[in-house]
Amino acid sequence: MARCVELGHALGNQHWPAVVKGRRVYVPLTVARAVMASVMKTHSFEGVTYAFVPGAEVIPYLAPHEARRLFGAAEGHLHGGDTA
């Protein structure tokens, strides 16, 4: 539980939108990948792994409203940007 709160606090401090699905948290790549990786490394979340993947690979796991939250597009017009 503590790790969840810590991660939420770190993501919120960066004003990064996020969608939680089961044990995964999806965050769109809104700044340089190096910046996002640096934030994750700085906080050194024990037991938390992350990866950068194309948004097109994430969209099938999201409901339309969740995809809009992450990618800010109307349904059917989603951009395939990366997500962390």
45-72 residue pLDDT tens? 888 888 998 888 999 999 999 999 998 8
Q: How many domains does the chain have?
A: 1
- Containing structural domain, residue 48: 2-83
pLDDT of residue 83: 59
Q: How far apart are CA 52 and CA 73, in angstroms?
A: 20
pLDDT of residue 66: 94
Q: Using the predicted structure, report yes or no on whether residue 39 has a pLDDT greater than 70.
A: yes
The pTM for the full model equals: 0.74
